[in-house]
Amino acid sequence: MNYLGIDVGSVSTDLIIIDDNMKVIEKLYLKTKGKPINAVQQGLKILKNKYDGIEIKAAGTTGSGRNIASTLIGADAVKNEITAHAIAALQFDKNVRTIIEIGGQDSKIITMKNGVVSDFAMNTVCAAGTGSFLDRQAERLCIPIEEFGDYALKATNSIRIAGRCAVFAESDMIHKQQLGYNESEIIKGLCDALVRNYLTNVGKGKEIVQKVFFQGGVAANKGMKAAFENALGFEIVVPEHYNMMGAIGAALIAKSAVKKSGSTKFKGFDLANSLFESKSFECEGCSNKCEVVRIIENEAAIGCFGDRCGKYSNALQVSENLLV
């Protein structure tokens, strides 16, 4: 029996299929490129070609695009990233106490006690130190992002970079480049600055207890891992499927949801051939002026978001109930 998990994030859309024994059968890492519908459809198309006929017992979604993805595929569970990451990590290792998760645009810390989340925090007003920023710097330095971490490890010396704000960090890096420091030292300095920023901003007031899992796309960066270990003074673990943990969590949550409900709502891989469209408009019904988005599949509305009073989304649910 197989379970599907989809994590629609700001930068990447991850799809995963796992079996009953938690074995990862397939993982797909696609770029969202600001078009979550396309990314999900593209992912399903790849899965359809490879695994047509496979039975999906449950499907779950997570990430910032979890609601739209859930509407598209008919998910059994829609969960926030924090819970999804925690569930996945605990499934792999019961002894995890802290999760450092750095994704495309947000970073999180999750602490756990007795096998449940006890506290968490997300970056609040600033995205300095997240994946997008590292991506951009790699691009500016003409270094492939995959090799960024190796450069940092080569450095013998670290240069202090102002990491409080992404824009200032960038100007500080340019300044240091112009002073003649070499690339690897600057990259190491950047990793150190980002870790410092993470620990004083996101991790403020949170106890980082071992064992620590480092998850999210940025965990691929060896320089960041080393900088964290250096700052914390102990080893941190990058799990095998570090960039898929959200999707794995979603699949696991869906699995238990279906155990309760009995059957899955997943619409199947054929969705890849449906025509999806999203239309947004400002509702003029009252002074709240909600921005409403409507998702249309083959000319039939299947989902509505953003209306506070539920005028559109409830209407949809009623018609759904009538159909059943």
Partner 1 sequence: MKVTFPHMGNIYLAAKALFDGLEVEYVIPPYNSKSALEIGSLHSPEEMCLPFKLMMGNYIQALNQGADTIIIVGSCGPCRFGEYAELQMKLLNKAGFHADFIAIDAPSDIGIKELFRRLNILTKNSSKNKFEKIQVLYDAIKIMNLIDEIEELAHKYTGYERNKGTCKTILNNCKAEAIKCNNPKEMIQLLKSYKAKLNHIAIDINKDPLKIAIIGEIYTVIEPFTNLYIEEKLMDYEVSTKRSLSPSWWVKNTALVPLKINSLDIRKASKRYLPLYIGGHARECIGEAVMALEDGFDGAIQIFPMGCMPEIVSKSILPTISKDHDFPIMSLVVDEMTSEAGFVTRIEAFVDLIERRRENELSRH
**Which spans of this chain sit near partner 1 (rule: CB under 8 A)?**
64, 79-83, 106, 114-120, 122, 124-125, 205, 287-289, 308-309
DSSP H or E segment with residue 285: none
Say how far apart CA 3 and CA 15 lie, in whole Å: 11
Q: Residue 120 or residue 266: which is nearer to partner 1 going by CB?
A: 120
Q: Residue 110 or residue 218: which is nearer to partner 1 going by CB?
A: 110
Q: Residue 81 or residue 172: which is nearer to partner 1 going by CB?
A: 81
> Minimum Å distance from CB 111 to partner 1?
10
> Minimum Å distance from CB 166 to partner 1?
15
Q: Residue 106 or residue 185: which is nearer to partner 1 going by CB?
A: 106
> Minimum Å distance from CB 113 to partner 1?
9
> Minimum Å distance from CB 43 to partner 1?
21
Contact 58, 258 (CB under 8 A): yes
Q: Residue 174 or residue 309: which is nearer to partner 1 going by CB?
A: 309
> Minimum Å distance from CB 116 to partner 1?
5
Q: Where are the beta strands (DSSP E) in the chain?
A: 2-8, 12-19, 24-31, 56-62, 77-78, 98-102, 107-113, 116-122, 212-215, 276-282, 291-297, 300-305
Residues near 250 by Cβ (< 8 Å), separated by ≥ 6? 5, 6, 7, 60, 61, 62, 66, 77, 79, 84
> Minimum Å distance from CB 123 to partner 1?
8
Using DSSP's 3-state secondary structure scheme, residue 273 falls into: helix
Contact 163, 250 (CB under 8 A): no
Residue 33: φ, ψ to 5°: 50, 35
DSSP H or E segment with residue 156: none
Q: Residue 119 or residue 147: which is nearer to partner 1 going by CB?
A: 119
